[in-house]
Amino acid sequence: QLHLQASGPGLVKPSETLSLTCSVSGGSISTTDYYWAWMRQPPGKGLEWIGSIYYSGSTYYNPSLDSRVTISEDTSKNQFSLRLSFVTAADTAVYYCARGSMIRGVNGAFDIWGQGTTVTVSA
């Protein structure tokens, strides 16, 4: 059973860089069948896709965050990570990591999600 666990500092100061890691257990991130993604949800608001990373190493980011976001992977640790620079209070949210499926017929849906980690941006 695949399990995703997001972790990182719960408090980040404005203008600094938010860094989160998603640890994957029960399966390898090095697979062409799946890709890996970050989403977030500000308090009381809806879900927002942040970006995705594929087996090839290709990354795609939400255009509204593209200049501040980097998603990377560490296959030796079976983890992938999110860095969001120059954060403001608007970046306060629950951050989720998730698996996207490349399997035929699933059409890229996010089929497994981590439990989420809360990040607050405040001085």
Task: Give the residues lining the site for other proteins (CB under 8 A).
Answer: 37, 39, 46-49, 52, 60-63, 96, 101, 105-111, 113-116
**Closer CB to other proteins, 12 or 110, in the complex:** 110
- Compute the least distance from the CB of residue 3 to other proteins, in Å: 12
**Closer CB to other proteins, 16 or 54, in the complex:** 54
- Compute the least distance from the CB of residue 2 to other proteins, in Å: 13
- Compute the least distance from the CB of residue 31 to other proteins, in Å: 18
- Spell out the residues 6+ positions from residue 59 whose beta carbon is closer than 8 angstroms to its own: 51, 52, 53, 70, 71
**Closer CB to other proteins, 16 or 55, in the complex:** 55
Which three-class secondary structure state does DSSP give residue 43? Answer: coil
Which three-class secondary structure state does DSSP give residue 9? Answer: coil
* Torsion angle defined by CA atoms of residues 27, 31, 34 and 38, in that order, rounded to the nearest 10 degrees: 80
**What is d(CA 97, CA 110) in angstroms, rounded to the nearest whole number?**
10
